[in-house]
Amino acid sequence: MQTKVERHLLQRGAGWTTVEEPFDAARVLPGLGAGDVLLMDCATMWLTNHLLAEHDLALESEALCAALRACPADVVVVTNETGLGIVPENALARRFREAQGRLNIALAEAADQVVLVTAGLPLILKGA
């Protein structure tokens, strides 16, 4: 994972400010202004962190979505669609898949625009 993070940092370059926040992503949002842009990469890893820490996923997701709705900055949230494949055989993977689906629904509801990217091709699901 550290190698992946380092690769992303190099790809983004010096013009980006990176904040690593494995649990409380909502705490970053109140400090942003109307001209700021935030890339949250990614909601799937954030959810995984909460799942493995045995946090209340519904409560954490509600707090994140409320903070996103209140944030005046432009926020881009990267997330993964985990419900398009087969149903996993183990309970933890099924719990994660279901929780990710619920989080994606909540994020889409809170968003002005939703874009599904598959094979590098964007499909606008909501907004212009």
List residues with catalytic annotation.
8
Average pLDDT on 8-23 reads 87
Contact status, residue 72 vs residue 32, Cβ threshold 8 Å: yes
- Give the pLDDT confidence score for residue 126 in this predicted structure: 97
- Give the pLDDT confidence score for residue 118 in this predicted structure: 94
* 23-55 b/e (C-beta count within 10 Å ≥ 16 → b): eebbebbeeeeeeeebebbebbbbbeebbeeee
Average pLDDT on 84-90 reads 92
pTM over 0.85? The answer is: yes
Q: How many CB atoms lie within 10 A of CB 9?
A: 12
Q: How many CB atoms lie within 10 A of CB 62?
A: 13
Domains of the chain plus CATH, in order, are: 20-126 (3.40.50.300)
